[in-house]
Chains A and B, each alone.
Chain A
């Protein structure tokens, strides 16, 4: 049988509950009473209406036709005065009586007026010029009045007061915000965050804020001329807006004999305590002792109520809500959720505070889940935090990731949401569609797809996205690539086994490795360079050097350019040069008409665009050793001027950098090794972001950082240790580099290697010698140092026939021998 449902209150909760009931096909004839003479509008948007960023038409949720379409009888502008429970009727202020089978009370709240002398006018409610901020009528009145006035005072420094103050700036020239407490938004923010917010509101918005301001009196006879504070101060103004809090509308309900404490007392089904047929929802309801002043909880309440009242799920229960808020003021980021201060001794509190920028972030973590968070000045992480808080999600081990986007690619996009032509690899221009095409053609391993498309083979930052797309295109999971653990793609062994086999069979050339260790003895072009590097490291001067195993750069000791020419970067240890050296470089550049002379990011001079056949002559004229700017090897040691010249220098970084470069020059490895030594923690040589960086600190000490990066990946190095002398730095540098050479994967830079092994473990091995291999590492690196030969000496006699013969006449005409 169709029941009569009556709803008192046509606000956000009442209307939403009716929507939920309709969505469940509830069998009711519905009658709604609303004190306000409108359909249902979005109260939250009143702030935007006041601020002028939304118009009235934009804030209505359900217009009158919605009620008609759903057979809802709406009595707009009609107030219920009494609930007659024994007769099951509600009595309205127009005298009508409406019977109900089920009743929902959703009367919401009214704005609360603090006891201030002269605030009311017996004839017209508030004194002229004084407004509350709760309804559309309030807002309209405020806008109309403020238009021809100058100075506004807002009483109340919570969310609402701040939004009112900001909105009023749209209408008057001066706004002052008075707050009775010590800091703004004290319910959502701790003291420090509140002060930070105040500074932003004052400096960025130009709203004057007065805290600890008790307003005691409204001044002005016929209309407002100012307000008076408890300390006697008077603030002249012609508009006053009260945003000092809300009080639930419960008087009528209490008068009707229903249980009311701070709010209308409801159970977990949103039924009024002890009542079979009466429910309450929204700001007027008190559930488990809590009242809510935000909309999110009432959405949850509405669902439970609807489930219960329609019989869809009579055991549906509302168990309370976790609150999170955001301030809706453009340019002022504030978000808050849960606890604002720790409560237990073992609550984990994480604070980031940057007053100058007005940024403050606080997290409170309890039992591994987020129990509270405050963000001021930077809301970028708010969505993630609210989600983590709401769902009690597991938190990242690296807590800082919750506060900042650290070196990670911007927000994770879902492959499904990406258009086919979205560029995934920005180095090699590979689209999502191209990746999917390869997967659909049957290649379902990440490395296979990377090989086929070259996606992820540039700077490497897109690799995680490539992986996700392959997984998605393969229908969930990518196939395991057995080769993923191999050192090089053509020899089926991880590095330790490969090295053991090489040692066991004494394999000293790349072709012997293929012939002995690859089933079928097949050679693989893409494995040659990695094997050459490994064998050179393992055998030093016993290595049998097959030139074809080298990449072109290492065959001719220059970096190949886009047009097939090469670059020449002479060694310039520690970035220090001499006038004589500069003259020689200048003369060479002139003599060979070098297309470009450039200072590099590695503190030396690059001569670019040299044809291959000119390389030997240029080296001879330069007569400077190679700077190895082309190899997977020890590159440069950047230095700063240090204690010799700099007024802050506390260590001779220049001398130490030169000494390190002198000793370890040319050392080949699985990846590039770039170092720096800097004379004090101001870090002008960028030592914190180097494969190995040395920082002089006061007291004659040196800090050694490893695993830093500032290329395609950004990472601050981990502090390996602090030592007392330059000699120790040199020794530990060699030991660390040797450990890296022996254990890193091919092309694995230290920024991946160090976190993979773990800095503690590396420290144990390299500094504390817990494995007892320090002496062996030192000896191995010493052997490599002794085997060093300047490759640019290889110029008088070519190492192979036609070593420097041009391979393409890209800019000049053929100079290759033509024998017909």
Chain B
């Protein structure tokens, strides 16, 4: 072969080989303050990428997940109110069907050790199955969701971008949703900036006093920095006989779990009303009144609540003022978490 011939063959082989170079996805960093505990979920079998995140974001906002294409995740998990369903004690799903429990916030889920008010879901990746299949929520099946997604070329594209394969599977759908909801992290509230001594974190005397009351009376369950200890507690709420919801006991069948519900995070609590597993309290004032005056004793009452919580009127106000410092506007208005403009839905809104 001549020298020229060799160079040409080399160039051709390089050209052919370059077709096999994989275009790598843009990996996303999962960031959180270095003084925080490590998250439970680390995306080890679900590498966080921009493409996976965007696919998950589309699925989150798409009512295609529901039987009649009217209800998306965002229908009950609205960003501006902490990714929960504000103003509804119990959420409604398709055809106005009403569920049995209040919608939980989606905040810092990678630190959760279980999901739902009773902990019935043990892993973030399989949580979405619950609302998708629930008759009162989306009344759909994951199998059918896949069939619907397969008819939409944009989803085929998004799945290909995320998984380097346009085959849509149940697992991939769930993993993509997980990549989105797993990124919904809040750690830039006024409280956080106060802890970090940052600009914007200048606490008033009232807020400081509220924090110290909080540490004394509330933090045993609503532990900093996540504002939950991930445990299940009976908070002495009187049973609502229209619901007869005994909480975790229905799942475990153990009497010691009677009336126990998960300790939810208090982050962004200012905007996530109404409160408690059945949304019975419209205001934080009512919540505080419950804890200081109306705790019902029972065999399974949280030991943290055995001694009466006594607060003066001024202390109650200081506590409320402190709770407002848990609002994280950067999180609530982060455009990356909002409705993706490229999503075209067949929604019947």
Question: Bound pair: A and B?
Answer: no
Interface positions of B (Cβ within 8 A of A)? none
Interface positions of A (Cβ within 8 A of B)? none
